Chain A
Amino acid sequence: MTSGSTGKKAADTALIIRRQSASDRVVALAGNPNVGKSTVFNALTGLSQHTGNWSGKTVTNAQGRCEYQGNGFILVDIPGSYSLMAHSAEEEVARDFLCFGKPDVAVVVCDATCLERNLNLVLQTIEIMPRTVVCVNLMDEAKKKKIRIDLDQLSRQLGVPAVGVCARAEKGLDDLLEQVAACAAQAEAPDPPKVAYPLAVEQALQRMAPAVQLRCGQALPARWLALRILEGDPALLESAGNYLGVPLREDPMLDSLRREALDSLAQAGIPPEKLQDEIVSALVRRAEQISSQVVHCEQGGYHDRDRKIDRILTSRFFGVPLMIALLAGVFWLTIVGANYPSRWLSAGLFWIEERLAEIFAWAGAPDFLCGMLVHGAYRTLAWVVSVMLPPMAIFFPLFTLLEDLGYLPRVAFNLDRYFQACDACGKQSLTMCMGFGCNAAGVVGCRIIDSPRERLIAILTNNFVPCNGRFPMLIAISTMFFAGAFPGPLQSFGSALLLTALILVGVLATFLGSKLLSSTILKGIPSSFTLELPAYRRPQIGKTIFRSVFDRTIFVLGRAAAVAAPAGMLIWLMANVTVGGGTLLSHCAGFLDPFARQLGLDGVILLAFVLGLPANEIVTPIMIMAYLSTGSLIEMESLETMRQLFVANGWTWVTAICVMLFSLMHWPCSTTCLTIHKETQSLKWTAVAFLFPTALGMAACFLVTQIARIWM
């Protein structure tokens, strides 16, 4: 499989830096995954790039601006990576920006509780960017774990400034900016000490460097470039070659230089296949050496608490049940908590609607205008807001808390074995978690998966996780039709269980789909896998809740305005324009009806899903509008009225199951489809992503319907 066919190249390398003034300096923010890089970025820029306690939160370059003493800085938050030798698409984004994005200064964010491992990237960054500032974050966590970091010594050893910060408490950021400003202002780039490679390698580099500089100019450090030419990584050399305008891999002079150097290295006992080992070992040993002088640990067992928690959360017997219980608990809180605010919102918004209609009547506006704008656009908007907003504003903060705590990598750890059985990657569970928010985000998140094949599987199956727009519909239908089986006070509990079961069906579909794909069109062996289990961190509860309620509100309102309102208008027109004895809507629904019946649905439901392509949020409003002969939504004060409407239109519990199944498994929304196309750079895979879940969903619905028919 070529990188072109799987979109490995899709990562946005062509980042456009948006300077506010010509004197703005560009600062690249690099670091290992999960060191609080995004927190530093947010604290500096005042933006709210989503952060999370697991690798791969930042998959694209985000930028923001900050000022310090009159100097402007454009901060570019690049994806976390362990090394500048890229393994995955997101690491390639990071490396390409650091190496070829011409930042003025690089800031490498490190985790104070795990400095040694972080120093590998620091050393590699300094090799290419002498203007580097090391930002040691999480100083508070280190203090808690009784780890002391000697920053002066670190700075001396590295030959670049080192600043200790605690980004969450916004401590030390001024110092950091001061050092960045000083670093950017220096006329001459500093010359920090180089990592010493084995003697034979050093000799080869000394011979190559002048000739490399002559051929390639000074845009990249000659020593660094010579080392990369020796290593011969094709992807890196191609990027570097494009940047320099020199075909590094085909250039005869460089090639003969390389051959000569490799020969002499081989004679010195370092054959090409061992060269990489020597280079990495030199970096790791240097990091170890620095760390031994800089990090002072008063107490050996500082991991004890985390290990104790892990022994429960990932234990053989309780790991998976606890995971499901947590999910069900989150759903229960969401359902219980969303009930009242939903009612208040809907009462308020529909009161406004009546006033709006009165204003239209008073102004003498034509009926169709009032119908289209008030009963079409506004009513759908109000419906989407009142039904979507409360559950989302409760679910996401809860989920974000779990995320900040560091629980999600444990989910990936618990589930990897099953993904392995499907020849897929355990990190897929992380991208599934992102899919709960938005499938488009989940698809972009798939960049954290190293292998192009496994990444594609994750992209194609991401839609089996119900997103933001589908959740409330699933909650509503399961509550309407099935929670009644539970005695009164336990009903919310029942809906939570049903929803959990439905998510598990989605997870099962993901496994099944992954297995199906990897045994047919995406054959291959599982690739290797490394997953970091970060230290648990206490989430900033207040800040998280505030932030994510705010974010969700904006998101839901934005979607409602951008998609639901225009769609509402369109549906109103379709429901009110009569052609040949029926409305447009009824003609379309009638056309789809025979086919839909085979799937346990009806024409209206299938039409709602088709029209819901731009956004899943509008599927339920369309169904309701179509069922009501008035051609627009009536006031849906309670789920009971809605249920009666559905039952009056022939719904049974089989219909409810099929609608939920189809909602779980059908084509991705248009935004997600566009994102898939952008990520895979292929129409073929976008088509597969559209057809595959649809086929699976239709098969499931058909099966359920046929079985139910025999049984009933």
Chain B
Amino acid sequence: MNGIRPLASLQCGQEGRVCDLAVTGSMRRRLQDIGLIVGTKIECVQKSPAGDPTAYLIRGAVIALRKEDAKGVLVFCDGRYPG
């Protein structure tokens, strides 16, 4: 469960730090604009009823991303569960 993995694989309550953005184009800029740059802490907070999209806590704001997009965000998890 530890190490580098796609954001989409995080379960509710798990968190990690962004280590790479493997998305391009306007989505890349969009993610950066909401504060998702290398080193940013991100926590998975809520899955929608159909399991996709998922809401993440990013710099104090809760933002929902689709699985397709979240696959392109690589996060480093050290396996700790917050709280």
Contacts and interface: CB of A to CB of B under 8 A. Distances in A.
A281 B32 contact: yes
Q: Which of B28, B32, B55, B60 is the most central at the interface, judged by chain A CB atoms within 10 Å of its CB?
A: B60
Contacts of A317: 49
Interface string A568-601: 0000000000000000000000000000000000
A-B residue pairs, 4 tightest by C-beta: A417-B50, A319-B49, A528-B27, A83-B33
Interface of A: 82-83, 85, 87, 113-117, 120, 276-277, 280-281, 284-285, 287-288, 301, 303, 306-307, 310-311, 314-317, 319-320, 413-414, 416-418, 420, 426, 450, 526-534
A417 B38 CA distance: 28
Contact of B60 (A113, A450, A530): A113
Contacts of B53: 413, 416-417, 426, 529, 531
A87 B23 CA distance: 15
B37 A284 contact: yes
Given A116-B60, A413-B55, A413-B64, A314 B49 contact: yes
7 contacts: A85-B29, A113-B60, A310-B62, A450-B30, A528-B68, A531-B64, A532-B64
Q: Which of A277, A284, A530, A533 is the most central at the interface, judged by chain B CB atoms within 10 Å of its CB?
A: A530
A277 B46 contact: no
A82 B59 CA distance: 13
A114 B40 CA distance: 15
B35 A450 contact: no
Contact of A85 (B33, B64, B66): B33
Contact of B48 (A120, A277, A413, A534): A413
Contacts of A307: 45-46
A417 B26 CA distance: 21
B39 to A, nearest CB: 9
B64 A87 contact: no
Contacts of A426: 53
A310 B46 contact: yes
A418 B50 contact: yes
Contacts of B60: 113-117
B46 to A, nearest CB: 5
A316 B65 contact: no
Contacts of A530: 30-31, 34, 63-65, 69
Contact of B68 (A113, A115, A526): A526
B5 interface: no
Contacts of A416: 48, 52-53, 64, 66
B32 A280 contact: yes
A117 B35 contact: yes
Contacts of B49: 314-317, 319-320, 414, 417
Contacts of B62: 303, 306, 310, 532-534
B59 A314 contact: no
Contacts of B48: 314, 319, 413-414, 416-417
A533 B66 contact: no
Contacts of A528: 23, 26-27, 30, 66, 68-69
B29 A533 contact: no
B34 A533 contact: no
Contact of B34 (A82, A288, A303, A314): A82
Nearest to A277: B32
B3 interface: no
